[in-house]
Structure 1
Amino acid sequence: MKLTTLTTAVLLTFSGIAQASPLPDFPFITVTGEAKLDVAPDKARIQFVIRHTAAKADAATEAVYKQGRDLMQFLATQGVTEANIDAAQVNKEALYKDYNDRTITGYEASQPISVTLEQLGNYVAVMDYLFKQPQIFSIQGSFDSSQREQHELKLSEQAGADARRRANHLAAAQGVKISSVFAISETAGWGSLAGDFGFSGAAVSYGALRKSAEMADSSGNLVLPRHITLQKSVNVIYKIKP
């Protein structure tokens, strides 16, 4: 008899879990508040890969080493210190005749590099150098602000205020009032009301582009962004009352 009672209790417990709803059991509304800010970038990050192929492994690897040494010397002339240079380990891969014939025809050595420029004054010169190097590929530049953290704190406050304004307008349109905050999401979207919570992150988009003064004679196709757009969004669930 005791065993039967225990089994029944367990079944009832699991049944209750299965029937539980992820939705709040009170009247509520959800809103998304947003805030954006255009700021002039003052720093940049450049990522690229040093890559060389050769018939012999030592020749491919040595070419990558040499390009790396030349790069370090050039960056030093631009005021870039080693603390702002991140390099992954050199990787070596065999090259084959084709997919079916695995005869080795050569070797490829590569090394991913990331360079942070604390000042944008030398961005054009660095990019121009990288583009002209025959053994440097996959060059990508991104811009940022050294004041990002301060800007994002202000944007978070503004997004929260925008969410409350939207909630008040929505509630008033239905003849009710918002009561208190039940949950705040910092993700890009709820996904579902039982989803994770979190900020959408500082979304960055590029504004109109302009040429810098030092590009007048060369590097005419290199451009700097006039601004980057920092963005925050916050999702809020408000309890409502009649």
Structure 2
Amino acid sequence: MKLTILATALTTALSLGLSGAAQASPLPDFPFISVSGEARLEVAPDKARIQFVIRHTAAKADAATQAVYKQGRDLMQFLAAQGVTEADIDAAQINKEALYKDYNDRTITGYETSQPITVTLNQLANYVAVMDYLFKQPHIFSIHGSFDSSQREQLELKLSQQAGADARRRADQLAGAQGVKISSVFAITEAGGWGQLAGDFGFSGGAVSFSTMRKPEMADSSANLVLPRHITLQKSVNVIYKIKP
């Protein structure tokens, strides 16, 4: 009797465990094919974003702050001359930090004032002049430029459609090779991968890479600055298709 009860309890526990595992499985409970589709497009950039930090260190807080103020005023005058409006300039709050002698000795030896700035250039013709100015300023650091297309939204919509068509083509080929047919779409995502197929089926941004660089046609030292001939917009989608015999 005890043996029978033990065997029954063990069978019930295994049954419940298998049932729970089945319920926890992220895989669809029907035949399916999972494929990826890709699409790329090379476009000439027509806008740029430049990020940098105005920063100055001085023995007194007012000296450090005044230097950042002055550099900011000079910068605004220069950008205005380049046709950059205030709407294209995003300035964060000015930050002040005390400088200490060392980690253990908290005696203040000076102050550092900084302000992060982001400038959007809607005309690449001004890119070289702006970058050249920034590199030559004594209180501007951490300069980084990136390029983009004003038509990104429209182009990425087309790329998403092309990537979807590529996924369908691959699914049809794969299904045909196995003697089955595509039934309908179960899920689609632009994420990098399915993981365990349990993630949300949302959308993410496309990748951007840079191609061969070109030098602007300028005779002075700023000709060492370069612009990309094109940027590569890319979209990839992952699709789960239901299949039928």
The answer to whether structure 1 residue 146 and structure 2 residue 141 are counterparts is: no
User: Unaligned regions of 5+ residues in structure 2, if any?
Assistant: 1-14
The answer to whether structure 1 residue 127 and structure 2 residue 120 are counterparts is: no
**Superposition map of 1:111-126 within 5 A:** 111-126=115-130
- TM-score, L = length of structure 1: 0.91
Q: Tell me how far 1:14 sits from its aligned partner.
A: 11
- In structure 2, the residue matched to 1:217 is 220
Q: Tell me how far 1:18 sits from its aligned partner.
A: 6.0
Q: Tell me how far 1:195 sits from its aligned partner.
A: 1.2
**Equivalent pair of 1:200/1:234 in contact (CA under 8 Å):** no
- In structure 1, the residue matched to 2:66 is 62
Number of residue pairs the alignment of both structures matches: 230
- In structure 1, the residue matched to 2:102 is 98
- What is the CA–CA distance in structure 2 between the aligned matches of 1:16 and 1:28, rounded to whole Å? 22
User: Unaligned regions of 5+ residues in structure 1, if any?
Assistant: 1-11
- TM-score, L = length of structure 2: 0.90
Deviates more, 1:16-25 or 1:83-92: 16-25
The two structures, once aligned, show a CA RMSD in angstroms of 1.7
**Equivalent pair of 2:58/2:110 in contact (CA under 8 Å):** yes
The answer to whether structure 1 residue 77 and structure 2 residue 62 are counterparts is: no
- What is the CA–CA distance in structure 1 between the aligned matches of 2:130 and 2:119, rounded to whole Å? 10
**Identity of paired residues, percent?**
83
- What is the CA–CA distance in structure 2 between the aligned matches of 1:206 and 1:183, rounded to whole Å? 31
The answer to whether structure 1 residue 183 and structure 2 residue 187 are counterparts is: yes
- What is the CA–CA distance in structure 1 between the aligned matches of 2:18 and 2:66, rounded to whole Å? 67
- What is the CA–CA distance in structure 2 between the aligned matches of 1:121 and 1:189, rounded to whole Å? 39
Deviations along 1:107-136, one digit per CA (max 9) or x if unpaired, are 000000000000000100000000001100
- What letter matches 1:123 in structure 2? Y
- What is the CA–CA distance in structure 1 between the aligned matches of 2:143 and 2:186, rounded to whole Å? 46
Q: Tell me how far 1:186 sits from its aligned partner.
A: 2.2
- In structure 1, the residue matched to 2:241 is 238
Cα distance change on mapping 1:13 and 1:124 into 2, 3 Å: same
- What is the CA–CA distance in structure 1 between the aligned matches of 2:234 and 2:203, rounded to whole Å? 10
**Equivalent pair of 2:209/2:232 in contact (CA under 8 Å):** yes
- What is the CA–CA distance in structure 2 between the aligned matches of 1:175 and 1:15, rounded to whole Å? 32
Cα distance change on mapping 1:218 and 1:23 into 2, 3 Å: same
- What is the CA–CA distance in structure 1 between the aligned matches of 2:224 and 2:203, rounded to whole Å? 36
- What is the CA–CA distance in structure 2 between the aligned matches of 1:202 and 1:22, rounded to whole Å? 26
Deviations along 1:33-68, one digit per CA (max 9) or x if unpaired, are 000000000000000000000000010011000000
Q: Tell me how far 1:196 sits from its aligned partner.
A: 2.2
Q: Tell me how far 1:198 sits from its aligned partner.
A: 2.8
- What is the CA–CA distance in structure 2 between the aligned matches of 1:14 and 1:74, rounded to whole Å? 71
Deviations along 1:136-195, one digit per CA (max 9) or x if unpaired, are 000000000011111011001000000001111111222211111001112121122011
- What letter matches 1:104 in structure 2? I
**Equivalent pair of 2:216/2:223 in contact (CA under 8 Å):** no
- In structure 1, the residue matched to 2:166 is 162
Q: Tell me how far 1:101 sits from its aligned partner.
A: 1.1
Give the SS at the match of 1:219: helix
